[in-house]
């Protein structure tokens, strides 16, 4: 029945919406890739950090009157500090062990965060208003796009590209890449690798929190919002491989679009399409689209 009225216009509209969702996937998988690159840890707590970002924005607005624009800066900073504390207090003891322990530990951390938020904020969730500057919508001819959704795409692309720029084109990024390749040698050159690791985890956490703040006006803020997303983002990461930054971003965007199209042509499968693609990629190209194995 949903085939009713699939016109070129509505198709374009759906593509654009897919791009919006893809932006979230891109930002989250980028954060996972950055953390994995240096720490060799798959950060299961990423969804929880994303949720924390959204909650900090809400808490800021409700209790302290901090508006959306400041929240975009403040919430990620707080979550970054939180992330760095986690890294220093818990994760740093695991670097010499099997990577699996990192996954297990961060899984535990995500349960603790989620449980705590459930206790204090309940599960029905909290609303967050669209900032005034971006309320209303723009008529694009083929659809009327809420301005805020447009902003999400622009903001996330900007963040992703600047991350890429920092890592690939700056001195700090060069240290980072060096530490990824050979931490001992990098340390020997007088670069403080543990500090670099801490900052990287903090930065990854901040990326997740930034995505959370961006999402806050679009969806209801609940303690569960992260864990629904994290499994999909894992699949995205498997498809793209965690080897390259642009790869993670491109895969995220592309899967958002594909998922959007599925919602039009066969909505029943829109929850599983990402996993099916993952299975196909594994059959054809086990290392992932942009991946280099180990």
Partner 1 sequence: MIKLSLVLGVAMAVLIAACSKSDDVDEKVTDGAIRIGVLTDMSGLYSDIGGQGSIVAAELAVEDLGGEVDGKPIELVSVDHQNKADIAAQKVREWIDRNGVDMVTDALNSAVALATSKVVAEKKRILMVTGAATTRLTNEDCTAYTIHHSYDTFALANGTGTAVVKQGGDTWFFLTSDYAFGHSLETDTANIVKKAGGSVLGAVRHPLSASDFSSFLLQAQNSKAKIIGLANAGGDTINSIKAANEFGLTETQNLAGLLVFITDIHSLGLPVTQGMYVTSGWYWDLNDETRAWSKRFFERMGKMPTMIHAGVYSSVIMYANAVKATGTDEADGIMEWLRNNPQSDMFGKNLTLRKDGRLVHDMYLMQVKDPSESNAAWDYYNVRQTIPAANAFQPLSESRCPLITGGSS
Partner 2 sequence: MTFVRKHAVLLSLVVVLAIAPFLFYPVLVMKVLCFALFACAFNLLLGYTGLLSFGHAAYFGAGAYTTGYAMTAWATTPELGLLFGVVTAALLGAVFGGLAIRRQGIYFAMITLALAQMLYFFCLQAPFTGGEDGLQGVPRGKLFGLIDLGNDDVMYVFVSLVFLGGFWLIDRIIRSPFGQVLKSIRENEDRALSLGYDVDRYKLVAFVLSSALAGLAGATKTLTFGFATLTDVFWGTSGEVVLMTLVGGVGTVLGPVIGAVVIIVLQNELADKVGSWVLVILGAIFVVNVLLFRKGIVGEITARFNRT
Number of residues that bind partner 1 (CB under 8 A): 44
| Distant-in-sequence, close-in-space partners of 243: CB < 8 Å, separation ≥ 6 | 33, 288, 290, 291, 292
Q: How far is the CB of 104 from partner 2 (least distance, A)?
A: 5
Asked if 271 is part of the footprint of partner 1 (rule: CB under 8 A), the reply reads yes
Q: Which of partner 1, partner 2, none binds 88 (CB below 5-8 Å, type-dependent)?
A: none
Nearer to partner 1 among residue 192 and residue 272 (C-beta): 272
Asked if 263 is part of the footprint of partner 1 (rule: CB under 8 A), the reply reads yes
Query: 167: closest CA among 19, 35, 72, 255?
Result: 35
Please say whether the beta carbons of 275 and 235 come within 8 A. yes
Asked if 46 is part of the footprint of partner 1 (rule: CB under 8 A), the reply reads no
Asked if 112 is part of the footprint of partner 2 (rule: CB under 8 A), the reply reads yes
Give rounded-to-5 percent helix, strand, coil for the chain.
75, 5, 25
Asked if 131 is part of the footprint of partner 1 (rule: CB under 8 A), the reply reads no
Please say whether the beta carbons of 131 and 197 come within 8 A. no
Nearer to partner 2 among residue 36 and residue 78 (C-beta): 36
Asked if 31 is part of the footprint of partner 1 (rule: CB under 8 A), the reply reads no
Q: Using CB under 8 A, which of 23, 24, 238, 241 touches partner 1? A: 24
**Interface pattern 257-286 for partner 2 (x via CB under 8 A):** -----------x--xx-xxx-xx--xx--x
State whether the Cα torsion 234-80-199-210 is positive or negative.
Answer: positive
Please say whether the beta carbons of 24 and 229 come within 8 A. yes
b/e 175-198 (16+ beta carbons within 10 angstroms → b): bbebbbeebeebeeeebebeebbb
Asked if 270 is part of the footprint of partner 1 (rule: CB under 8 A), the reply reads yes
| Distant-in-sequence, close-in-space partners of 181: CB < 8 Å, separation ≥ 6 | none
Nearer to partner 2 among residue 72 and residue 242 (C-beta): 242
Q: Using CB under 8 A, which of 17, 199, 206, 239 touches partner 1? A: 17
Query: 211: closest CA among 229, 198, 190?
Result: 229
- Can you tell me the distance from the alpha carbon of 95 to that of 41, in angstroms, rounded to the nearest whole number? 8
Please say whether the beta carbons of 260 and 21 come within 8 A. yes
Asked if 47 is part of the footprint of partner 1 (rule: CB under 8 A), the reply reads no
In the complex, the residues that contact partner 2 under the rule CB under 8 A are: 36, 42, 90, 93-94, 97, 99-101, 103-105, 107-116, 118-119, 231, 234-235, 237-238, 268, 271-272, 274-276, 278-279, 282-283, 286-287, 293-294
In the complex, the residues that contact partner 1 under the rule CB under 8 A are: 1-2, 4-5, 10, 13-14, 17-18, 20-21, 24, 115, 118-119, 122-127, 130, 137, 143-144, 146, 148-149, 218-220, 222, 224, 228-229, 232, 260, 263-264, 267-268, 270-272
């Amino acid at each position: 029945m949903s085939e009713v009225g699939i016109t070129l216009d509505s198709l374009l509209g759906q593509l654009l919406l897919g791009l919006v969702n893809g932006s979230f996937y891109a930002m989250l998988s980028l954060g996972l890739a950055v953390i994995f690159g240096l720490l060799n840890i798959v950060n299961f707590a990423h969804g929880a950090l994303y949720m924390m970002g959204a909650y900090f924005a809400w808490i800021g607005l409700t209790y302290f009157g901090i508006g959306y624009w400041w929240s975009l800066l403040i919430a990620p900073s707080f979550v970054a500090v939180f992330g760095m504390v986690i890294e220093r207090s818990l994760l740093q003891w695991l670097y010499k062990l099997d990577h699996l322990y990192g996954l297990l530990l961060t899984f535990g951390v995500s349960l603790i965060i989620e449980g705590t938020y459930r206790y204090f904020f309940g599960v029905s969730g909290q609303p967050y208003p669209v900032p005034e500057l971006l309320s209303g919508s723009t008529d694009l001819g083929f659809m009327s796009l809420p301005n805020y959704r447009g902003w999400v795409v622009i903001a996330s692309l900007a963040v992703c590209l600047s991350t890429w720029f920092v890592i690939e084109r700056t001195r700090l990024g060069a240290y980072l890449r060096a530490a990824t390749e050979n931490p001992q040698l990098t340390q020997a050159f007088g670069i403080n690798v543990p500090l670099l690791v801490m900052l990287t985890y903090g930065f990854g956490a901040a990326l997740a929190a930034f995505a959370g703040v961006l999402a806050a006006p679009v969806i209801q803020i609940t303690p569960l919002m992260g864990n629904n997303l994290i499994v999909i983002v894992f699949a995205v990461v498997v498809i793209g491989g965690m080897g390259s930054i642009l790869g993670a971003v491109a895969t995220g965007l592309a899967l958002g679009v594909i998922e959007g199209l599925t919602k039009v042509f066969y909505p029943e499968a829109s929850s599983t399409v990402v996993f099916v693609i993952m299975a196909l990629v594994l059959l054809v190209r086990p290392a992932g689209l942009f991946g280099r194995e180990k």
